[in-house]
């Protein structure tokens, strides 16, 4: 299976994030989890836009 491009949005910091992954559901869970140590941790909760 190939990769998917995804866009998520954070209302709390008014930012969009674009990424690619093999599993959009797992990646969204990561962005919203305590394990997230990248800059997107500031934007929790993230909402999948497309």
Per-residue pLDDT tens digits for 25-45: 999 999 999 998 888 889 999
Tens of pLDDT, residue by residue over 5-25, are 999 999 999 999 999 999 999
- Please tell me the distance from the alpha carbon of residue 17 to that of residue 10, in angstroms, as a whole number: 8
Domain boundaries, the chain: 4-48
Global pTM?
0.86
| Residue 10 to residue 22: CA distance in whole angstroms | 21
Beta-strand relationship, 15-21 and 46-48: unpaired
Residue 1, pLDDT > 80, answer no
């Amino acid at each position: 299976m190939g990769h998917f491009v995804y866009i998520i949005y954070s209302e709390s910091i008014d930012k969009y994030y674009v990424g690619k992954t093999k599993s959009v559901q797992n990646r969204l869970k990561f962005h919203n989890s305590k394990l997230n140590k990248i800059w997107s941790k500031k934007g929790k909760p993230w909402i999948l836009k497309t």
